[in-house]
Structure 1
Amino acid sequence: MVEMSRVSLGIAGLAGSLFLAYAIYFDRKRRSHPDFKKKLRERREQARKNVSAKQRSLDSLPNLQDHQAVQNYFLQQIQLGEELLANKQLDEGLEHFGRAVALCGQPQKLLEVLQMNMPANVFSLLLARLPDINRRIMEQQALLFVGDENDLE
């Protein structure tokens, strides 16, 4: 019985060390490939471009005359806020929740729901940021409105 467990333990140790050796070999072979750094830079640059394009699309406000676009933007902001708060990215999450509150048709009801579902300290941070977020949204809308008037001339 004792002999069997020693043998099993030895086989398991051997298998583990072989796996570790293979992983080290494969990693060294992968890193020593001539195109490794080039491909790594390309992937990182592509990821940065994707993130910046996504961020630009989120920063741009929808046409407030298009009810469907506003509703989609509102839902998107709520979803992103939830995901970012779940990932412990408090600042970004609160920014998205603030944008959703600013564009909501009934902000008091939304704030009540958020108050029930958020920790008190996070909710107080959201309330503190709302005036600044509203101001920035109004400035964006004013710039869009001025830009539309210039296009008409």
Structure 2
Amino acid sequence: MPCVRTLLGLLAALAVGGAVAFLGYCLYFDRKRRGDPAFNWDAGGSGGTGLWDPEKNEKLQERFLQEVQMGELWLSRGEHRMGVEHLSNALLVCGQPQELLKVFKHTLPPKVFEMLLHKIPLICQQFEANMNEQEYLEDDPD
């Protein structure tokens, strides 16, 4: 019986230690995030929406899911070009494109994944063009 008590005590200590480590992790990254000059709750005064806009994030999530679903639909129909087009759009709006590429590498047929990899430079050009257009629209006094 002493073995069971010792084991339970050890497990409890590990659980508490894990919780403390997780809390420390959260506090460290929260401090790091708040200290980042790019992080700003209220960009441009009280009328600005800031960098974190829940409505915009929700729309991006919806667009991401829609593009992934459309990509899967076209791929299931054997239309690889259209499937890759939609999956590349999903990469464009994804918050973690490297992680998404890892998922695609393991889930897509090699031929389709290669097509997607060849499309990445075009995705980057499209992203830059979108960012430049957005900056132009924000700088426009009209």
Q: TM-score normalized by structure 1?
A: 0.52
Cα RMSD, aligned residues only: 1.8
Unaligned stretches of 5+ residues in structure 2: 1-51
- Higher helix proportion (structure 1 or 2): 1
Residue 149 (structure 1) shift: 2.4
2:68 matches 1:73: no
Percent identity between the two aligned chains: 30
Higher relative contact order (CA 8 A, sep 6+): 1
For 2:15, the equivalent position in structure 1 comes to none
Residue 92 (structure 1) shift: 1.7
How many pairs are equivalent? 89
For 1:144, the equivalent position in structure 2 comes to 134
Deviations 1:64-89 (A, max 9, x none): 95111111111111011111111222
Residue 118 (structure 1) shift: 0.7
For 2:124, the equivalent position in structure 1 comes to 134
Unaligned stretches of 5+ residues in structure 1: 1-63
List aligned pairs for 1:17-32, cutoff 5 A. none
Q: Which has the larger radius of gyration?
A: 1
2:73 to 83, 90, 94: 83
Residue 109 (structure 1) shift: 1.6
- Structure 1's consecutive aligned runs of 4 or more residues displaced over 3 angstroms after TM superposition are none
The answer on whether the counterparts of 1:78 and 1:97 sit within 8 Å (CA) in structure 2 is yes
Output the CA distance in 2 between the equivalents of 1:96 and 1:145.
25
